[in-house]
Structure 1
Amino acid sequence: MLILKFSALFIMFIGLACTLAPRLYGTVIILVVAAGYGIFINLNIFQSWIGFVLLLLTLLSEVGARGLRILTTRPYRVSRRYSIDTSVCNLAGIIIASALLGSFVGATIWEIVVGKTLLARLDMIGKILIRLILTAGVRLICGLLMIIIIVKYMMYTL
């Protein structure tokens, strides 16, 4: 029984980590694990109000957060994928150039080669990244609330 609870919690925490990625359905993973746990242990433990709240949080997380992301990033001319890729690749480029050539020479070469093109759009990219982080935060909070409800009312009931 303890192994089953640990396994279910472990998979739910993997789902919670998946809520931070834009294309992974972390809250759906949490919902499926909760339903599977409820069916496997005892069908009476999966009460209707728990199922409704978990389904509502899943819909809010997946549909609402995606709609929020599209709505908040639409006015900008730079795509969401470009913003994420540019930030990650340029950060990695700075680190690698500094590691290979030394901090001063690496940063100088990065500034000469890449900095001119990036700095023109840095403000717009930063605004999009902040909005994407806020959207991921909404999904993370929904997933965390789901896990708290599952643990409190399904796994450790008296």
Structure 2
Amino acid sequence: MRVSAKADYAVRATAELAAAPDASPVPAEVLAQAQDIPHRFLEAILRDLRREGVVASRRGASGGYVLARPAEQVTVADVVRAVDGPLVFVRDHRPSDLDYTGAASTLLDVWVALRVNVRAVLEQVTMADLAAGTVPDGVRHLTRTDGAWENN
């Protein structure tokens, strides 16, 4: 599975918003600098996040971006879906829309199981978790399994 640069940047910028003191608006330039994200690319990402109701923008001298909901209610899955669409696609289709035959007929079970597991992780982790520097115990446990940090 591959996480796009767009999704990675979106999650990082959203985590910065969750960490903002008193949920005050943060200008896009500040978000870009804090996470070393190209400013123009971030502006497009923020538009997607705003359109999907993840962030809101505030105008004026003290304007910028804020989370549209409390950080505890915004998951990594919400952010990734807002910028990239569904979490797991196979050849640009949702696994549930595919049909395989013959020796590959059970491959659909693999793709659906992958989607379930991706959801299980990304829907657990909130922006509040990231802003606090923590992840839920179940996610932390997965990082401690044999081979978790190996690139195979």
TM-score interval (norm. to shorter)? under 0.3
With normalisation by structure 2, the TM-score equals 0.27
If you compute each CA radius of gyration, which structure gives the higher value, 1 or 2? 1
Which fold has the larger relative contact order, with Cα–Cα distance below 8 Å and residues 6 or more apart in sequence? 1
User: 1 or 2, which has the higher strand percentage?
Assistant: 2
With normalisation by structure 1, the TM-score equals 0.26
User: 1 or 2, which has the higher helix percentage?
Assistant: 1
